[in-house]
Amino acid sequence: MPTENPANAPAPSTAAVQQAAPHQDFIRQIVRDDLAAGRHSAIHTRFPPEPNGYLHIGHAKAICLSFGIAREFNGWCNLRLDDTNPGKEDPEFVQGIKDDVRWLGYDWHELRHASDYFDVFYRAALKLIGDGLAYVDDLSADEMRAYRGTLTEPGRHSPYRERSVEENLDLFRRMREGEFADGSKTLRAKIDMASGNINLRDPALYRIRKVSHQNTGDAWPIYPMYDFAHALSDAMEGITHSLCTLEFEDHRPLYDWCVDKVDLPNHPELWQSVVAAGLEAKPAKPRQIEFSRLNLSYCITSKRKLAQLVGEHHVDGWDDPRMNTLRGLRRRGFTPAGLRLLIERVGVSKQNSVIDYAVLENCIREDLDATAARRMAVLDPLKLVLTNLPAGHEETLVFPNHPKDEGFGTREVPFAREVWIEREDFAEVPPKGFHRLKPEGEVRLRGVGIVKCVEVVKDADGQVVELRCTLDPETRHGLPGADRKVKGTIHWVSATHAVAAEVRLYDRLFSVPAPDSEEDGKSWLDHVNPEAKRVVQAWLEPAAAGVEPEQRFQFERLGYFVADRVDHRADAPVFNRTVTLRDVWARPAGQ
């Protein structure tokens, strides 16, 4: 689906605006040099996920890099689904990938599939066989591993390696016709069984797999291996810079071998079926460049382990806000601009490292501080009664929606004789340095005035259930006494007008920085944080309740919250805590 000016992301928030100076990293410098030398007239990139799961935060870096470079250099980026592994792929994941890429702020030049090129791959394989560069092997997978050798010992030639071109062509065509059983034969490249790079020890190019494909049905009983399909897909689409993570660095010689030996630009007969299908084909020689993955502490990015969390009900689904899938982060309230800011700050390098999760949280806070309107909410309510106001007293106060940006406007907040305050804002026996409410103590009630606690009401069990206070009328907003100083200010919600809401308090899913290291002898599942989700009934000011899903706020003094994109309704509000106002995981001084 071609789009106009496709690679441009929407304008980022104030917090995520890119600096005027161009990004400086080794990949962008390569691109600049290639353009300056005339090697390319335009930059073409791609993002090639496999549709066998939902994207996670590690994919965000690849998305921002491939789409971002295309945007910066006025090129384009394709979204190509690597659908070469039928049986593990699902249309649900395809739609999820599209949604996530768009949510991050990008669109693609064209949507392509590896399956668009199945006929090209097959014809390319026939060419390699004809050139004496590929053969059909009867070794089983276990035998092939045994013949491959080790890092210190060379591999051994398969006994089927010297089959004639004619026999290999015949066998491969019969593989194509579905004559042989799954796993009984494999097409392998004939490269070098003594190579120091194990990837070049006659790697498999095709395997027999009689599984229906979501796009091609039962047309193909054989499917290409990833390295073969990926390299030729890049070449078919005219990709100039194929950006991969570091684990593909050892695969680059095989990538180049496939591109060079098939030589699509000089063999148009191999790809005319793509043109006949109405797809644009501009075969060229791509360049693979590797970069370090985005690794965050307190996270896992293994698709298998993410699926296990879902399958064993450690979480409530792929979009559970505790998950580091992009769907989960979105539902948690993380912002695309905040994630893009993280990618910008982490930068691009060849050195693997682990980024502290707090860096991500700070990027989200920075964006939300600028973009989220303020509201008041009480999560653990304690009733406060202003005894010197008449029974039934109600009034309307005007509050700014954002203390730093008048452009957010103002809102009306109802105020009454009885209000809810946070239980932790009162201490009957206050600790040292406590500047909130205490018996006979004073505190400023946000936007109202100074109140004094004159009576503490307890129930039969001795629990504090109500504070009876007086409001100093001379300290009301706009009066001269409003300047009287007290050390504490607390927020509140009118008990008469408050709207009950379900608030889900989310935190990091794992309680240790490296949950899957197993250095402590424990399984990664042993480190699932039992406090990563708590649900409370809270009270909101009315202006916080009747909003659309995914509306984000700072609940004053509590953190940043978002109206849940699935469960929230104006008549039954549900909010998720995105992030606290400050890093509560930071180590205390001296530790």
Count other C-beta atoms under 10 Å from residue 456's C-beta.
15
Which one is catalytic: 303, 411, 436, 476? Answer: 303
Residue position matching structure tokens 């009664």: 385
Burial grade of 61 (CB within 10 A; 0-12, 13-18, 19 or more):
buried
Question: Cβ(455)–Cβ(468) under 8 Å?
Answer: yes
> How far is the C-alpha of 120 from the C-alpha of 268, rounded, in Å?
10
Tell me, what amino acid is at 441? G
Question: Distance (Å, rounded) from C-alpha 297 to C-alpha 83?
Answer: 30
Structural tokens at position 129: 């066989």
List, in sequence order, every beta strand (DSSP E) within 387-463: 394-400, 410-416, 418-422, 442-445, 449-458
Instruction: Give me 175's structure tokens.
Output: 């593989």
For residue 265, give the amino acid letter: P
Exposed, middle or buried: residue 203 (CB in 10 Å: 0-12, 13-18, 19+)?
A: buried
- Residue 498 phi, psi (nearest 5): -60, 145
Side chain identity at residue 585, one-letter code: W
Q: Which amino acid is at 56?
A: H
> Can you give 475-497 as a three-state secondary structure string?
HCCCCHHHHCCCCCEECCEECCC
* 3-class SS string, 3-65: CCCCCCCCCCCHHHCCCCCCCCCHHHHHHHHHHHCCCCCCCEEEECCCCCCCCEHHHHHHHHH
Residue among 174, 206, 171, 176 at smallest CA distance from 188: 206
Contact 536, 577 (CB under 8 A): no
DSSP 505-517: EE--SBSSS-TT-
**Is 404 annotated as catalytic?**
no
Q: How many residues does the chain have?
A: 591
Neighbour count for residue 136 (Cβ, 10 Å): 23
Catalytic residue among 148, 209, 285, 293: 293
Neighbouring CB atoms inside 10 A of 357's CB total 19
| E-state strands within 40-185 | 44-47, 76-81, 111-113, 134-137
Strands 449-458 and 442-445: antiparallel
521 burial type by CB count under 10 A (0-12 exposed, 13-18 middle, 19+ buried): exposed
Single-letter amino acid code for the residue at 485: K
Element (H, E) at 167: helix 165-176
- As beta bridge partners, residue 466 has 383, 457
Which helix (H) or strand (E) segment holds residue 257: the answer is: helix 252-262
Q: Which amino acid is at 231?
A: A
72 is catalytic: no
143 noted as active-site residue: no
Residues with catalytic roles: 50, 293, 303
